Chain A
Amino acid sequence: MDITFNEEQEMLRKSASDFLIAECPKTKSRELEEDEKGYSPEIWRKMAGLGWMGLAIPEEYEGMGMTFQDLTVLLEEMGKNVLPGPFSCTVIGGAFAILEAGTEEQKKEFLPKIANGELILTTALLEPGGAYYEASGVNLKATAQGDNFVLNGTKVFVEMANVADYLICATRTKDGSADEDGISLFIVDAKAKGISVEVMPTIAFDKLCEVRFENVSIPTENMLGERNKGWPVVQKVMQKGAIAKCAESVGGMQASVDMTVAYCKDRVQYDRPIGAFQALQHIMADMWIVTQTSKYLVYQAAWMESVGQPCAMEVAMAKAYVNEYYKWVTERTVSLHGGIGTSREHDAGLYYRRAKAADVAFGDTDFQRELVAQKIGLIS
């Protein structure tokens, strides 16, 4: 047992932090919220130069061959500094899905380009009518026609589809079977004929999109993984995605605590810093406590995932836990800042809004708790 980050990870954390503070100050984060693309191609190129997109991609595919745990260190810093853009949907939803289920050819085609920052990928999973993370929610039809499959239907909450080069799309390729059976994944060229994309206005302005498929013809060779057996791949990617989201969230929690403490030391009322009032001190102590508990729960899940230990329960726990406490910490952050905390120009709201966005990504608290209920042995 050694529950500290190693030297390499600390260096990665430091360089990520330095880079993000310099390249993406909060004014930039807010600017990107209002930007049509939702990310900065310039920052993206520099990130690629640092090797970030390929951090956890094996060296044989031009990545750096580092671990998933290393990647979460980077994600934590991104959450702390609020970096809008397609990093996690490309790396987690794209690269890991291909690593998990892709053919050697697919890996050779996509992974080096992802590692070099040439491609943006995203996952198209949820659909209108509930938009929930279960197999029964996947109904977009893919029908075999000669060497192609033809896709018809609509996906929603597809992150950064407005700028994506490829969508990894979950489709239904077989009817009348169990929910988990009959799902197939395709790597879909986002510019293919018949695809239309519309950005959904969201609380974090994070470019979640509706993507409509009208007779979109996809070559069969673009199928990712086995026909009708795509759901376990989705689950594995979702598990990584949930941890990634948690890592970003604990970064945001720490930033919120730091911001609140600094403000309360500085802000003077009744002739003293408001941080001298115990009514506020105890709130900040609690904010710090749940940030600590959140971190180590997430670090443990990330470690388990990284070394390949089964961790479905730990991940569901981490997600459920962090969902609630990220929202709570950021709500307290806004409150302790008073009026200024509620303003568009202040950073408190950046995190408060992201906590809500993080909550629903990869399954909300009730969804995760149901998984936990099963894993702790409650019969269903």
Chain B
Amino acid sequence: MDFKLTDEQVNLRKAFFNVCEGLAKKRPVGFTGLEGCYDTDEGWAYHLDCAKVFAKKGWLSLGWPEEYGGQGTIMDKVFLSEATGYYDVPGVDIFGVDMLAPTLHAAASDDIKREYLPSIASGERMWCELWSEPNAGSDLAALSTSAVRQGDDYVINGQKIWSTGAHRAHWAFALVRTDPHADRKQKGITFLLFDMKTPGIVVNPILYMDGGHLYNEVFLDDVRVPVKNVVGEENQGWGVTQTLASFERSNLGAIMGMHRQLEELVNYCNETKVKGEPLAKNPLIRNRLAHVACDLWSAHALAYKIADAQSKNEMAAFDASAVKVFSGELQARMAQLGTEILGPYGQIKHSKWSVFEGFFEKWYQQSFILNVAMGTNEIQRNIIGWYGLGLPRMK
């Protein structure tokens, strides 16, 4: 067993970090995370600019087969996510690059791949995911948005919700019900791609608790989508979603972000005097920062294990659930600790009074996103219990 990177990997990782460090200098003040990408015009433009920089270097198609313009390995993609995570730099569309592209590689026809992969690799087309519905959240297979075939089109009617960035995205990948009479709810679901400008789509904001515009509800009213836009087979969409197992799941981006946050807190505590003494000398603060550091390094070690297993095609879904749960909840604790170290200033939004541009005030709220999205942590614990530990499911 060894945790050593090859010289080539060290150099590539360094290149990723160098580019991201440069891009970070151009970041709009107060920009952070997904909300940063979708909330303001400025943030969105920055996201697109970063995407173009990565695309030029071929970094949006890392780990793809060469015939689709790919280069490098899935491990290289992990290193890129460490760099973007550390510098909080956008540009890698989590929906297009991270989720859809691996799905297309695993499940789509050559025609679909040839049509949709190039604009993901070039960073020109950004995507959103239309999966959750008001009555299909954790129980996603209960979704009811219908797609009825009429000639060469489907006509889609229904409502989607919690659609991150749907107000900005160019295209969507959606789950719709094509067979309402199937004997199991997982059957009769189809995975579809469509342009968000298609007539009949109405996107309304659902503002986050901090007022940011990240989520949306999306109404689909007689939306016509060509049948050729199906990924995989009609009614087999649930199986297509399961190929997302190939979605990079080490969470190293979030983990590297926390490394930077910890460094900033350490510097802050070294430089900030309270009652005449640097905060760093307060034994309680030392203990709490060290506690979080231990948790962070443990998450990092497990994340490397997940990445290594995934690159060898040996990762079980519940393995990745472990690091998702642990690192997501650690981010919540890190944000809480950050606000607590800042004392009354921990509540200040980006302004002339704020510390770290209000970063911890923001993440005190934003960290829920990590623990609710992509399968809540409670669902992740079910997955671990059922598939990892073999515990019985309640009938």
Contacts and interface: CB of A to CB of B under 8 A. Distances in A.
A261 B390 contact: yes
A369 B3 CA distance: 24
A284 B385 contact: yes
Contacts of A3: 1-3, 304-305, 308-309
B389 interface: yes
B281 interface: yes
A281 B381 contact: yes
B390 A282 contact: no
A293 B391 contact: no
A6 B304 CA distance: 17
Contact of A370 (B4, B75, B287, B393): B287
Interface string B299-311: 1011011001100
A378 B308 contact: no
Contacts, number: 170
A272 interface: yes
Contacts of A257: 389
Nearest to B259: A376
Contacts of A297: 294, 297-298, 301-302
A371 B294 CA distance: 11
Nearest to B283: A370
Interface residues of B, number: 55
B384 to A, nearest CB: 4
Contact of A278 (B280, B286, B323, B382): B382
A273 interface: yes
Contacts of B352: none
B369 to A, nearest CB: 20
A340 B301 CA distance: 36
Contacts of A370: 283, 286-287, 290
Nearest to A299: B1
A116 interface: no
B269 A378 contact: yes
A288 B389 contact: yes
B356 interface: no
Interface string A276-298: 11100110111011101111110
B1 A275 contact: no
Contact of A377 (B266, B319, B322, B386): B266
B277 to A, nearest CB: 10
A184 to B, nearest CB: 32
Contacts of B278: 379
A268 to B, nearest CB: 11
B381 A372 contact: no
B302 to A, nearest CB: 5
Contact of A275 (B378, B382, B392): B392
A276 B394 contact: yes
A257 to B, nearest CB: 8
Interface stretch (A30-38, A172-180, A313-321, A351-359): A313-321
26 contacts: A9-B1, A69-B1, A272-B394, A276-B392, A281-B385, A281-B389, A282-B382, A285-B382, A292-B322, A293-B298, A293-B301, A293-B323, A293-B326, A296-B304, A296-B305, A297-B298, A300-B297, A303-B3, A373-B289, A376-B262, A376-B289, A377-B267, A378-B285, A379-B270, A379-B281, A380-B280
Closest 9 CB pairs between A and B? A369-B290, A281-B385, A296-B301, A372-B290, A373-B286, A285-B381, A285-B384, A293-B298, A297-B298
Interface of A: 1-6, 9, 69, 257, 261, 264-265, 272-273, 275-278, 281-282, 284-286, 288-290, 292-297, 299-300, 303-304, 307, 314, 317-318, 320-321, 366, 368-373, 376-380
Given A282-B382, A307-B4, A376-B266, 10 more contacts: A261-B389, A275-B391, A282-B378, A289-B325, A289-B384, A294-B298, A296-B305, A297-B301, A314-B297, A378-B266
